[in-house]
Structure 1
Amino acid sequence: MMEFLIRPLLLILLIAQMQSAQDSYKAATFEYKPEYITDDPVETMRLNAKEFEKQIETVSKEHAKIIVFPELGLTSIHLPNRSALSNWSIEVPDPEKNSLPCNESGIHEVLRKISCAAERRKLYVVINLVEKTDNCLYSSNVVFSSEGRIVARYRKYYRYNEFGEFNRPNELNATAFSTPFGTFGVLIGADILYEEPARTLIEKNIRQFVYPLAWVTVLPFATSYQMQRAWSKTNDVTVISAPYYPGHDYVVGGIFMSAGYDPKAARLNSATVGIVPRKGRASIDEISQSVTEPIGNDCVVRNKDIKLKYANIRPFTNKIDNDTSQWTWEGDGIKCEFEVTADLSAIKTESFQFFAYTGKDDVLGEKCSSFATSVCAIVRCGSNSLDKCGLVGTSGVTFSSIKIKATYNQRMHELVFQNTLQHGYYEIPSTMNSTNSMGKMVQTMVLSSEAQGLVVFGIVRKFFPATPADKDVTLPANTSDNPDICPSLVPDPEPHSTRDLTLIYLSIIFSVVLLALVAIKYRRQILSRITD
């Protein structure tokens, strides 16, 4: 009974109410912890597809026009090794065929059911699944139109904190689809940590994104809320994200807009989360092209569960001891300057640390990522330990002013954003200005109003070395398997030897003789029953 009461909290349905019939639409996103039946892909996918159908029907009654489901929402994260992964896979028709799985024979049951539900309820549906094509297995997003047709497919390129032994496609493709209420770009997983394909889509005037994800949180700078909110705000886009919900609050989805996001509403079942206007239309023909990432490095890290990770920030911190504190750190091409005024008298079991770092990314994820990171930030930690900084919790400490200035050499390929987190999953109001001074970029971030419950407040810069000559940061070699080679999913059976065939024949003869002897022994009983 308790599970029945808790389940709606795990299966989060978010509905965004738009302003008017002409300028707006309703969108839904579904946070979900999928059903998983051990070693039974058919029943697992059947149960989860049934739940998807139920939610499609529910949001259609609220007049939603589109719903997004999580990454691995059909299979769960409990995927087997490569040799058995094919059993969890689905063949997906090429979107160019304009396929309608609802009316086609020989199609996988999951595709047929979702297609029929989309057609019946007249809304766009975005799902993620394990796709099989030839000997390759991909983590793929599939988009169904309001007519139930497959209109887009996007194969995951960045196998970053991965849960399955997927192949990487040969090319990274910018993918989008058009609807009567605007054009949407398609992202998945760790895409917002990388430059492409988002840059190409944004340059083509895409301002709305669908985003299934199974996010692995790395504290203190990379909760799903922080990264999605910062990415949406920096790029002035709307992100309709549907996360795999592992049962803790560090994985948050919803509808993120440049104007804001209400995390309280995101924790309710069927809650209005904000007013989101349409974001325009772009040419699909121009977008449907192969794009090349600035760096080809791939980072294959296998996970067994979605759980918290902590970045090692110990070597790069300085404790805030006074109500008015200043600190300057400079190294490796970046300078961080801090000015803080706070009432520290309420400190109990916490500390606040200045944090400055630049180098191969070890604060947003794994060391083998193909980007580097610079950070100038203030972080909440425990009073006696820097091992687990970034945990959300109540705090009586009030910050009345914060000013952080980051100075560095600007790169062609970089993304700079305000990274803030407050207790309760709120953004901390701030402003950030950019200036050029003597050939260097200067970013100045200022606290807009007094803040309590501060967890993180700072400037995070991701940059992408574009050429081998760009040697400020040494990145690792490609750790991936050859993406052009997909090993056989099922090993070919070895030919039987003469000895094997002889044993098989002898076994058959023995079985026939044994059956004959049994029949002779009981022939009278058999004949008498027939006579009766």
Structure 2
Amino acid sequence: MKIFLCVVIYSLFISQPRVQASTPDSPTYVAAVVEYSPVTASDGDTAADVVTKNLANYVLHIQRAAEKGADIIVFPECGLVTFAGHGSFSTHLPNPEDRVNPCTDDSSGVEEVVRTLSCEARNRSIYVVVNIPEMVPCPSDTNCSSSDVLLYNSNVVFDRDGTVVARYRKFNLFGEPGFSATLEPELSVFDTDFGVKFGTFTCFDIMFEKPAVSLVRALGVTDVVFPTAWFSQLPFHSAVQVQSSWASSMDVNFLASGYNNPRGGSSGSGIYAGKEGPIVAVMPTVPSTQLLLAVVPKKSFQRTKHVSSNVSNVCELITATPYRNAFPERLDGNDSGITMLSDYLEPYETLLLTENEFFSKHTVCHNELCCDFELVMHRSQQIMNSSYKDNVYRLAVFDGIRSYTYVTAGVQICAVISCINDSLSSCVKDLKLSKQEMLNTVFDYVHISGNFRQSNSIHLPITLVRGYDVLSSDKFQFTREEMPERNEIKVDMKTSRQNSNLLTFAIFGRDFQKDGGLLTLPSRCHRTSAATVTVLITVAVILCLHTYFKFPFSFLH
């Protein structure tokens, strides 16, 4: 039915030339994001050659999106220069306050790639958001010499006329040697002629208060453009999980464009309507490029005019670029071809659910956080032509500080997670279900609740089902009740429909006050493996060296 509806809408709406672009009075606008698998260097290619080839593909996508009536198109982080060449190519970017149009201004001092993008935005009358390495002369008040330059991982936005209307320099770098961060996070916004104010940030920024949360809470931004090159991690941080949950928690329209390299761990793009959930989202398991189009209901109309937020009139448009087939055969015959990172669950308080717990209630606590769980589940009936994979579930609770490789962050979690077997380490493994396989457990009802810290925090509904998909908004409820006298917020998350193939169902809280603190270590050493003990001893030694001899804390990456 959904496919039929998609075809009908495509033929009646998106495939027809639009008379005009969206206006401030329109209740919707049309957005495009690109899940992009870049051209990489071949023998003899320079960094400039790679940029030129990727730019040619960007131009094709801009043209295609404009033909389909898109008002704005977003490209991913690193897409022009790729991971391998990130930093080997850079360009000057104009200050948005100067209202420079590189297409018409020969004195703008930009590289040809910026001029071309500006001209495409102008010629196609579409807003264009691109991530590109930015080169800035070294300021006189810094330690570097005047002949040096700083490199920033930057987003640049062109309006329909080709003018640079926004620029954002990534603040929360994920390693990224060679790149600098600004002294303070920038809050970058831009207004559009269709009546929507957008904010922008990049990839790892989404995990932090500044600039991501500040754009919404301090500036009231309702729509976000998000270039990303995400490295997915189980069980809470796969790309579409993070994009969908953040958009829902902040209740903003969210346009996420992802770098596509599944075997390298990067995949996932989507367009999300805040609490209404994903409009369209993909997480390809093989290298592919996809252009996603969606009709996006404006938040201002939803909130002030009570316009329906029905977003069923949406299609995914998949296009093949000249160098890549958009529908290649799967590399390994399974649904999974994405290299997943794994969370470290040893510090969590967990409880393994037994096979006969078809109805159960549990309270699990870790540090100051106690989570209440109520579950009703049953075993699937065998269906012809389908095979079932047995798995088990754990309840998991965490209140402390975890590592994000290059930084530490405060986290509070109440979760139901799927595991391959009874071992805790199996709960962060990819099940690698084939197309024919299904999980044997069906959840009739799941209810999680807990009192989380309120100050300097956010709380997100995290879900994951087979195929790296997330639950639609009509399949669960997520509510928050503030209790300021206790500096707590009561969060409830419950299913509203029966769910099968459920991998993760969780309340994920970020406690920004604890960012940068020391890692939370396991308290039950007798339950750890020899390998884990070795890791803990190594961490303890490094902590001691840091404390007493000022050994660099960066060795805890």
TM-score w.r.t. the length of structure 2 is 0.71
Counterpart in the other structure of 2:54: 48
Counterpart in the other structure of 2:448: 404
- CA gap 1:454/1:74 in 2 versus in 1, 3 angstroms: same
Counterpart in the other structure of 1:122: 125
Q: Does 1:431 align with 2:477?
A: yes
Measured in 1, the distance between the counterparts of 2:260 and 2:410 equals 28
Structure 1 residue 154, shift from structure 2 partner = 0.4
SS of 1:148's partner is coil
- CA gap 1:464/1:326 in 2 versus in 1, 3 angstroms: same
For 1:362-441, what aligned pairs fall within 5 Å after superposition? 362=403, 365-366=404-405, 368-369=407-408, 371-389=409-427, 391=430, 393=433, 394-408=438-452, 410-424=453-467, 425-427=469-471, 429-435=475-481, 439=486, 440-441=488-489
Instruction: State which of 397, 400, 404 in structure 2 corresponds to 1:359.
Output: 400
Q: Does 1:92 align with 2:93?
A: yes
Measured in 1, the distance between the counterparts of 2:129 and 2:83 equals 18
Measured in 1, the distance between the counterparts of 2:515 and 2:392 equals 41
SS of 2:61's partner is helix
Q: Which amino acid aligns with 2:298?
A: P
Q: Which amino acid aligns with 1:114?
A: L
Measured in 1, the distance between the counterparts of 2:269 and 2:192 equals 22
Q: Which has the higher contact order (CA 8 A, sep 6+)?
A: 1
Q: Does 1:323 align with 2:358?
A: yes
Q: Which moved more, 1:267-276 or 1:151-160?
A: 267-276
Instruction: State which of 474, 480, 490 in structure 2 corresponds to 1:442.
Output: 490
Counterpart in the other structure of 2:28: 24
Asked whether the 8 Å contact 2:390–2:440 carries over to 1, the reply is: no
Q: Return the index of the structure with the highest Cα Rg.
A: 1
Q: CA RMSD of the aligned region, Å?
A: 3.3
Question: How many residues are aligned here?
Answer: 432
Query: Which whole-Å deviations, capped at 9, do the CAs of 1:124-159 have from their partners, x for residues lacking one?
Result: 100001111111011000111111111111000001
Measured in 1, the distance between the counterparts of 2:500 and 2:293 equals 26
Query: Which whole-Å deviations, capped at 9, do the CAs of 1:376-407 have from their partners, x for residues lacking one?
Result: 11011112543343536431311011111212
Counterpart in the other structure of 2:72: 66
Query: Which whole-Å deviations, capped at 9, do the CAs of 1:326-380 have from their partners, x for residues lacking one?
Result: 3222231110121211114677432111111121124xx33723x3111111011
Q: Does 1:310 align with 2:342?
A: yes
Measured in 1, the distance between the counterparts of 2:40 and 2:519 equals 45
For 1:143-222, what aligned pairs fall within 5 Å after superposition? 143-160=157-174, 162-181=175-194, 182-203=196-217, 204-222=219-237
Q: Which moved more, 1:251-260 or 1:223-232?
A: 251-260
Measured in 2, the distance between the counterparts of 1:71 and 1:269 equals 15
Counterpart in the other structure of 1:529: none
Measured in 2, the distance between the counterparts of 1:275 and 1:99 equals 29
Measured in 2, the distance between the counterparts of 1:344 and 1:420 equals 20
SS of 2:246's partner is helix
Asked whether the 8 Å contact 2:349–2:397 carries over to 1, the reply is: yes
Query: Which whole-Å deviations, capped at 9, do the CAs of 1:82-130 have from their partners, x for residues lacking one?
Result: xxx4x41111122222111112154311011101111100111000011
Measured in 1, the distance between the counterparts of 2:282 and 2:233 equals 24
Asked whether the 8 Å contact 1:69–1:127 carries over to 2, the reply is: yes
- CA gap 1:91/1:264 in 2 versus in 1, 3 angstroms: closer
- CA gap 1:377/1:16 in 2 versus in 1, 3 angstroms: farther
Asked whether the 8 Å contact 1:263–1:426 carries over to 2, the reply is: no
Asked whether the 8 Å contact 2:30–2:296 carries over to 1, the reply is: no
Query: Which stretches in structure 1 are left out of the alignment for 5+ residues?
Result: 1-14, 282-305, 482-532
Query: Which whole-Å deviations, capped at 9, do the CAs of 1:43-95 have from their partners, x for residues lacking one?
Result: 01111111111111111111111100000111001137xxxx4x411111222
Q: Does 1:256 align with 2:289?
A: no
Query: Which whole-Å deviations, capped at 9, do the CAs of 1:294-316 have from their partners, x for residues lacking one?
Result: xxxxxxxxxxxx94210122453
Measured in 2, the distance between the counterparts of 1:423 and 1:75 equals 32
Structure 1 residue 323, shift from structure 2 partner = 1.3
Q: Does 1:136 align with 2:136?
A: no
SS of 1:228's partner is helix
Q: Which amino acid aligns with 1:382?
A: I
- CA gap 1:414/1:52 in 2 versus in 1, 3 angstroms: same
* Identity, % of aligned positions: 26
